[in-house]
Chain A
């Protein structure tokens, strides 16, 4: 796998839609998602060495987009209609109290659990995939998901 990105424009054209979509899902706002798209690639353009080549570009962008969006949520307060969000297949609404919207939940959760919530519910990743992305064991991911469920239950 290649190392540092040497053609940011190409990566933007071919992968930008991924960042835009996921930012929209996590942030719950199209305009903020466009800002997130710009900011992620601005950061990448200024420091292309961020990508070390130890994963695919798509996987790398998943990580940086998630980190960026969760940081942004923590820096502002915002409410969004849970039902209007195409978060996923209903599992989120099954777990989270109806009074808690997705962005509010992500703001309230500890960082690691918020990340896992994004990957599990929004990106529909398997526990194995999440473990691979985070560089931990599937057992750890399973435990974190159990904690996530307990966290949601404590909000009711």
Chain B
């Protein structure tokens, strides 16, 4: 088996990237430079990487993060990473307390998965800023939301909501069945985003993670009835946003 897929002695992309980001020690940098002086192939690759680096600001969105302004939940410590904001959506975590499934802060575990590892997160884009909010934070019509999850098992995932008028919507996936969702020890951000409509009041978001494929219509019916706990083989996580006028 060849030591590397490229011609012997050529530099890996990682080495070239570390050269550009000045992460190589001096002796290694000299060795790399010596190779580049004699290798048109690697030199051309380096030129390409330099161009990508130099054009990055033009092709990539700005990145700014705003630290959350309110905290209502005591369970989650958010990392306020300076003043960086992201042109995407922010996630909210709700740490449920024991009690009625329909009360805020309640995590509903399916009857066969008492210790579900499912965690729903929301990233919220308000204007040109992206915020990781908290349960109970105010949102407004026109704000955009993107979802993420973590879970300890493979399964099938759907995200739904019930708005202040009691209307149930399916936010994820687009198809008729809950989408395959691999085990995620680290947060997995789901594709796509939704824009909040004009209906005010509490916007309850539900993540439903099931061991087998489930029709989202079935899940939506249970949300409507307030009976998600009856879904067999499913874990549920929930959080509630407070939709207010702009």
On A, residues with C-beta under 8 Å from B are 5-9, 12-18, 20-22, 32, 34-35, 37-39, 41-50, 56-59, 62, 64, 67-68, 71-72, 74-76, 88-89, 91-92, 120-129, 133, 142, 145-146, 149
Contact = CB atoms under 8 A, between A and B. Distances in A.
- Main SS of chain A's interface residues? helix
Contacts, number: 155
B130 to A, nearest CB: 7
27 contacts: A8-B63, A8-B65, A9-B63, A12-B63, A17-B55, A34-B60, A35-B189, A35-B191, A38-B87, A42-B123, A45-B79, A46-B91, A46-B132, A47-B79, A49-B79, A56-B18, A56-B23, A71-B184, A71-B188, A88-B6, A89-B7, A92-B5, A121-B5, A123-B13, A124-B5, A124-B10, A125-B14
A129 B15 CA distance: 9
Nearest to B41: A89
Contacts of A121: 5
B14 to A, nearest CB: 6
B93 to A, nearest CB: 10
B183 to A, nearest CB: 9
B63 A126 contact: no
B1 A142 contact: yes
A54 B148 CA distance: 27
B64 interface: yes
B180 interface: yes
A21 B52 contact: yes
Instruction: Classify the secondary structure of B's interface with A.
Output: mixed
B3 A9 contact: no
A37 to B, nearest CB: 6
Contacts of A35: 88, 189, 191
B79 A48 contact: yes
Closest 3 CB pairs of A and B: A17-B56, A39-B189, A91-B5
Contact of A59 (B10, B14, B83, B184): B14
